[in-house]
């Protein structure tokens, strides 16, 4: 099964030993194979530099079959690339061979090829596992690659990989889930960059769309606003050029290991390695809530995450449920119908107007037409002048460019800050509008919007803090901030948490543990206690900052900071207690780079 190998911390030491002793090392390089060399089952290549990645043979889950794969050295059950996905090897007789002719082949016990890297064989070839996790074949000292594993993704996208279309050779790169935990062969789910309309990432199950991220808006995917929380560590980019239409991301030098994986249960996740807890933390999951499921509310429907009572479904302004009976049975796939017919005849002036729906994930742009150059005013005119146009929107976040929809509008949801969608409606729909005031939206969205605005203030603060820390190393932050939040003593906290007893323990993140607190009059609190490992000088400063920021925020939908404790080596925050599951994500702040920074500080 898994190979026994030295723990990663020993590697530099061992490397040093080999170099010093001046042997073995010269004979067998740890990260590459030269022509004529081979790698048998039990041997591994480890990437040079930090040694983050390891190539070797493995058996997944309960399977006894052998596969050649690459995994994270710190987490050897996290295999991100498999060579022979659907051609397993029986027994431990597999061998990866860079043969004399310069081809890279994987042979089974009977010396039959089960996999080979597709490139023009070169007698000068060298195969090497780079510290990006990329397995490459090079021609001698040339830096150009004859072949690279990054061009043959399995189910995982690492930093510097890309997915999408490579136009010069016609390749389509995408990630596809394993069939099960025990079987890495291609499963039902795959994640693809769609390049018709605006670029966006779509999760497919066979031939059915399951979930889309919303279009790329120049900075992130419109339906994944939370990417703003980590895009300073892992900047995303979409490349549209003559040679490729691709999506990828980078990792900043200080950033922890990360991966984006599509798993066999039908979810895409971004995971980040937390050194201190030695576990993967989830930064993103999609689909993440009911409104994420593709076209849930049908054509011209509008999904509202806050409208659970209505099965989340409503209609765009100016539309009503097409089949009230079906809707009563909570089936909204029939979507919505226009209330008042449009007034549009080709060549004649129209009286139609546009209603704006703010803060949404834009509809599927598959059949939409996109013009990256024209302004929003021109976009409105173009839509107005074309009787097939039912809606338009800006093509990117700077309100430039134009997307025009001419058939059904599907898969719209509230997703603040989102984008604005302009829907064409008959003049009569605006009749009762008071002068100067915009017609209100059909679904009340004030509360979630407010919550999200506050969340974004927080995110903005986080981003600012990270920037600030990078920019100016010495920042004066008072150790014990003065603020409108009460300081309480440790004894009080011990009494409400029964001395941090196990049965009060709710959960933990990389830097803190959270307990349920209960006062003598029965009120509940969430008590967040920083772990000793997070209590560096910098860690304490960031604690002070979290107190300062959270103290200023008051909102019903937000966890509220009630008090803090700063006594000796204890740093504790007391929050309002929320019964539902949202507590964890709020309190562990997995969405806040400050805590990542904290973690990073704590780790170094
Ligand atoms: C692998 O390399 C070893 C040592 O160089 C050699 O003895 C062995 O025959 C090779 N195996 C294969 C399958 O080429
Ligand atoms: C795009 O057009 C095709 C063909 O008319 C249609 O079947 C499909 O539903 C449309 N898709 C979207 C998202 O509008
Ligand atoms: C209306 O827009 C569609 C899609 O952009 C286009 O195919 C069609 O030619 C336009 N019609 C007119 C009359 O401009």
**CA distances, 40 to each of 92, 103, 173, 331, 520 (Å):** 8, 16, 29, 56, 65
Look-up of token digits 């002068």: 435
Asked if residue 468 belongs to a domain, the reply is no
Asked if residue 470 belongs to a domain, the reply is no
Give the pLDDT mean for 22-38: 67
Atom of ligand 2 nearest to the CA of 408: 14
Look-up of token digits 């994640």: 191
Atom of ligand 1 nearest to the CA of 97: 14
- pLDDT, one tens digit per residue, over 590-599 is 433 333 333 3
Structurally, the chain folds into a number of domains equal to 4
> What rounded mean pLDDT belongs to the chain?
82
Q: Where are the alpha helices (DSSP H) in 6-62?
A: 11-21
In this predicted structure, what is the pLDDT of residue 603? 33
Q: What are phi and psi of 280, to 5 degrees?
A: -85, 130
Asked if residue 477 belongs to a domain, the reply is no
Both 180 and 86 in one domain: the answer is no
pLDDT band of residue 455 (cuts 50, 70, 90) is low
- pLDDT, one tens digit per residue, over 464-518 is 544 544 443 332 333 333 334 666 778 778 888 888 888 888 888 777 888 888 8
Q: Of 270, 288, 306, at which residue does a domain stop?
A: 288
Both 355 and 368 in one domain: the answer is yes
Residue 413's Cβ-side half-sphere holds a number of Cα atoms within 13 Å equal to 31
Give the pLDDT mean for 569-593: 60
User: What's the CATH number where 340 sits?
Assistant: 3.50.4.10
Ligand index nearest the alpha carbon of residue 335? 2
User: What is the DSSP annotation of 535-586?
Assistant: -SHHHHHHHHHHHHHHHT---TTS--EEEEEEETTEEEEEEE---STHHHHH
Both 139 and 23 in one domain: the answer is yes
Please indicate if the annotation marks 330 as binding a ligand.
no
Contact 365, 402 (CB under 8 A): no
In this predicted structure, what is the pLDDT of residue 463? 58
Tokens of 50: 């930090």
Nearest-CA residue for ligand 3 atom 5 is: 369
Both 493 and 367 in one domain: the answer is no
Judge whether residue 21 has pLDDT over 50.
no
Give the pLDDT mean for 19-26: 37
Q: What is the pTM of this model?
A: 0.70
Residue with more model confidence, 2 or 101: 101
Domain that holds residue 593: 486-603
How many Å lie between the centroid of ligand 2 and the Cα of residue 367? 6
As for ligand 1, residues whose beta carbon falls within 6 Å of it are 38, 95, 97
Both 283 and 296 in one domain: the answer is no
Both 235 and 109 in one domain: the answer is no
Ligand index nearest the alpha carbon of residue 108? 1
Q: Of 124, 152, 180, at which residue does a domain stop?
A: 152
Contact 70, 135 (CB under 8 A): yes
Q: Of 267, 288, 309, at which residue does a domain stop?
A: 288
User: What's the CATH number where 526 sits?
Assistant: 3.30.200.20
Residue with more model confidence, 477 or 190: 190
Q: What are phi and psi of 18, to 5 degrees?
A: -65, -40
In this predicted structure, what is the pLDDT of residue 311? 87
CA separation for the pair 154, 78 (Å, rounded): 12
Judge whether residue 6 has pLDDT over 70.
no
State which of 27, 38, 68 you would mutate to test the pocket of ligand 1, scoring each by most atoms of that ligand within 8 A of its C-beta: 38
Give the pLDDT mean for 339-357: 91
Residue with more model confidence, 347 or 89: 89
Answer whether 406 contacts ligand 3 (Cβ < 6 A): yes
- pLDDT, one tens digit per residue, over 271-318 is 999 999 999 999 999 999 999 999 999 999 999 999 988 889 999 999
- pLDDT, one tens digit per residue, over 102-157 is 899 999 999 999 999 988 888 778 999 999 999 999 987 777 899 999 999 999 99
Asked if residue 64 belongs to a domain, the reply is yes
For the ranges 13-17, 427-431, 481-485, 568-572, which has the lowest average pLDDT? 13-17
In this predicted structure, what is the pLDDT of residue 19? 37
Tokens of 553: 């925020």
Bridge partners, 273 (sequence order): 280
Both 148 and 201 in one domain: the answer is no
Asked if residue 451 belongs to a domain, the reply is no
User: What's the CATH number where 67 sits?
Assistant: 2.90.10.10
Judge whether residue 56 has pLDDT over 90.
yes
Give the pLDDT mean for 369-397: 94
Asked if residue 310 belongs to a domain, the reply is yes
In this predicted structure, what is the pLDDT of residue 258? 98
- pLDDT, one tens digit per residue, over 520-530 is 767 778 888 88
Answer whether 519 contacts ligand 2 (Cβ < 6 A): no
In this predicted structure, what is the pLDDT of residue 13? 40
Both 283 and 300 in one domain: the answer is no
Both 259 and 212 in one domain: the answer is yes
User: What's the CATH number where 227 sits?
Assistant: 2.90.10
Give the pLDDT mean for 536-558: 66
Both 320 and 406 in one domain: the answer is yes
Tokens of 244: 């490729």
In this predicted structure, what is the pLDDT of residue 326? 84
- pLDDT, one tens digit per residue, over 111-120 is 999 999 988 8
At 487 the three-state DSSP class reads strand
pLDDT band of residue 601 (cuts 50, 70, 90) is very low
Asked if residue 454 belongs to a domain, the reply is no
Give the pLDDT mean for 357-383: 95
Report the percentage of the chain scoring pLDDT > 70.
Answer: 79
How many Å lie between the centroid of ligand 2 and the Cα of residue 530? 52
For the ranges 71-85, 327-341, 428-442, which has the lowest average pLDDT? 428-442
CA separation for the pair 17, 19 (Å, rounded): 5
Asked if residue 585 belongs to a domain, the reply is yes
Both 197 and 100 in one domain: the answer is no
CA separation for the pair 1, 111 (Å, rounded): 21
- pLDDT, one tens digit per residue, over 226-272 is 999 999 999 999 999 999 999 999 999 989 999 999 999 999 999 99
Atom of ligand 1 nearest to the CA of 38: 1
Judge whether residue 454 has pLDDT over 70.
no
Nearest-CA residue for ligand 2 atom 3 is: 367
pLDDT band of residue 552 (cuts 50, 70, 90) is low
**Strand-pair category, 183-194 with 175-180:** antiparallel
Judge whether residue 554 has pLDDT over 60.
no
Judge whether residue 442 has pLDDT over 80.
no
Burial of 437 (0-12, 13-18, 19+ CB in 10 A): exposed
In this predicted structure, what is the pLDDT of residue 505? 87
Both 374 and 419 in one domain: the answer is yes
């Amino acid at each position: 099964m898994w190979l026994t190998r030295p723990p990663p911390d020993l590697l530099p030491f061992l490397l040093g030993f080999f170099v010093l002793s001046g042997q073995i090392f010269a004979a067998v390089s740890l990260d590459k194979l030269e022509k004529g060399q081979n790698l048998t089952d039990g041997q591994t290549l480890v990437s040079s530099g930090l040694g983050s990645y390891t190539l070797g043979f493995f058996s997944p889950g309960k399977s006894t079959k052998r596969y050649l794969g690459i995994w994270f050295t710190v987490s050897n059950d996290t295999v991100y690339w498999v060579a022979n996905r659907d051609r397993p090897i029986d027994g431990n007789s597999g061998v990866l061979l860079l043969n004399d002719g310069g081809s890279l082949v994987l042979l089974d016990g009977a010396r039959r090829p089960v996999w080979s890297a597709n490139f023009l064989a070169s007698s000068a070839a060298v195969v090497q596992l780079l510290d990006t996790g990329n397995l490459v074949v090079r021609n001698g000292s040339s830096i150009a690659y004859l072949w690279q594993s990054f061009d043959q993704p399995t189910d995982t996208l690492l930093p510097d990989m890309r997915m999408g279309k490579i136009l010069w050779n016609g390749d389509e790169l995408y990630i596809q889930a394993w069939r099960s935990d025990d079987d890495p062969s291609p499963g039902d789910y795959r994640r693809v960059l769609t390049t018709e309309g605006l670029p966006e990432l779509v999760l497919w199950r066979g031939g059915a769309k399951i979930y889309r991220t919303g279009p790329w808006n120049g900075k992130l995917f419109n339906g994944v606003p939370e990417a703003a929380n980590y895009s300073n560590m892992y900047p995303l980019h979409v490349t549209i050029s003559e040679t490729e239409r691709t999506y990828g991301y980078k990792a900043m030098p200080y950033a922890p290991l990360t991966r984006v994986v599509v798993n066999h249960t039908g979810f895409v996740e971004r995971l980040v390695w937390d050194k201190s807890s030695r576990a993967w933390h989830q930064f993103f999951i999609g689909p993440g809530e009911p409104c994420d499921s593709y076209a849930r509310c049908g054509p011209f429907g509008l999904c509202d995450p806050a409208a659970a009572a209505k099965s989340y479904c409503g209609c765009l302004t100016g539309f009503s449920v097409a089949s009230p009976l079906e809707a009563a049975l909570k089936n909204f796939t029939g979507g919505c119908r226009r209330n008042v017919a449009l007034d549009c005849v080709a060549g004649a002036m129209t009286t139609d107007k546009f209603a704006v729906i703010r803060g949404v994930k834009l509809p599927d742009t598959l059949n939409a037409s996109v013009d990256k150059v024209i302004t929003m005013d021109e976009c409105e005119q173009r839509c107005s002048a074309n009787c097939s146009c039912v809606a338009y929107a800006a093509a990117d976040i700077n309100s430039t460019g134009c997307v025009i929809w001419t058939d059904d509008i599907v898969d719209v949801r509230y997703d603040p800050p989102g984008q604005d969608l302009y829907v064409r409606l008959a003049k009569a729909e605006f009749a009762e509008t008071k002068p100067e005031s915009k017609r209100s939206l059909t679904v009340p969205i004030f509360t979630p919007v407010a919550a999200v605005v506050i969340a974004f203030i927080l995110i903005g603060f986080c981003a600012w803090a990270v920037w600030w820390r990078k920019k100016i190393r010495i920042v004066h932050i008072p150790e014990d901030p003065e603020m409108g939040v009460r300081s309480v003593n440790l004894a009080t906290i011990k009494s409400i948490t029964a001395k941090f007893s196990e049965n009060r323990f709710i959960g933990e993140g990389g830097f803190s543990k959270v307990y349920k607190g209960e006062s003598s009059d029965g009120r509940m609190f969430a008590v967040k206690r920083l772990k000793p490992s997070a209590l560096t000088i910098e860690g304490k400063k960031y604690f002070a900052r979290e107190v300062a920021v959270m103290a200023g925020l008051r909102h019903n939908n937000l966890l509220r900071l009630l008090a803090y404790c700063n006594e000796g080596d204890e740093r504790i925050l007391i929050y309002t207690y929320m019964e539902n599951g949202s507590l964890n994500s709020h309190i562990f702040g997995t969405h806040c780079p400050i805590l990542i920074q904290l973690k990073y500080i704590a780790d170094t």
